[in-house]
Structure 1
Amino acid sequence: MKNIFVDGYNVINSWSELKKIKECSYEAARKELIEKLSNYAAYKNHKVFIVFDAHLVSKSTEKEERISDNIIVVFTKEGETADAFIEKTVNNIGRKIEVCVVTSDSLEQQVVFQRGATRMSSIEFYHEVKNVESKIKSKIERKYSEKRFTLEDTIQKEILEKLEKIRRSN
């Protein structure tokens, strides 16, 4: 299973739809990002760690919340940036398992690459997530259209013939 570390605020500030939501509420933007990445992670069978900075929040301790089997949200502790958390974690696991880091911070990309991870910009990741959303939508539409029933499929033939007779007589 591929592990993806996402710099949450970097992505929110890079994706125009999330940026608009952020203008009203950071909380709403975080929730929207988590929702989008939950669908993505489930479809791709990846484990996604969404890391948010809490380094400016006084007395904040690191918090990890498991949203599902595939989504883990991390709020860093006071004084620790998302970049520092991701670097530390990738340093420990980057050469043992498949890891990708999503950030548009070029220095961060270089550091995690040196530690064994692949990297992807926030915009590249946006296009990948949108592609997966499109595939999910197509799959749902296909399933829905396969399950559609017409009146002819649901009633007995004799009743259908009587209804047709009534329709033609009017």
Structure 2
Amino acid sequence: VSGRIALEMGMDAGFAEQLVHAAPMHDIGKIGIPDHVLLKPGKLDDEELSIMRSHPQLGAEILDKSSSPLIKLAYTVALYHHEKWDGSGYPFGMKGEEIPVEARIVAVADVFDALLSKRPYKEAWPVEKAVEEIKSQANRHFDPQVVAAMLSCLPDLIAINAKWREE
């Protein structure tokens, strides 16, 4: 999904391919989050939320100091994928184009996947409802250009998501 959005935004095929491989590492820091927080079926309390919000930096620590271009890209995605376009995200409160474009792309792709997935704390959403939620968050949570690119290639993204679920 991330790679297809990158292509739709006019990025070259090499970058898009690297992003396809880097994006799945965005939550690697969650291996450092205790299961009682990670798998909690209900709403997280303030302490649990603080623990959960440490995963971007934990992921960056895991991926840091690699000379591999792929791992460097994954580092950036892991560290910044919870920053929000309006500056209300974490861990640094970055906003707009301060956030690396690869993290802005993965943020949209990740939420699209998360909304379409059943989780311990929620049921899977229908595609239409997920798309409406993402559209409603353009200029708040998400870069509006990334959302526009996502909408432009939505049939491809739905097919990619369905294929991934079958595998």
Q: TM-score, normalised by structure 2?
A: 0.30
Q: Which protein has the bigger strand share?
A: 1
More helix by share: 2
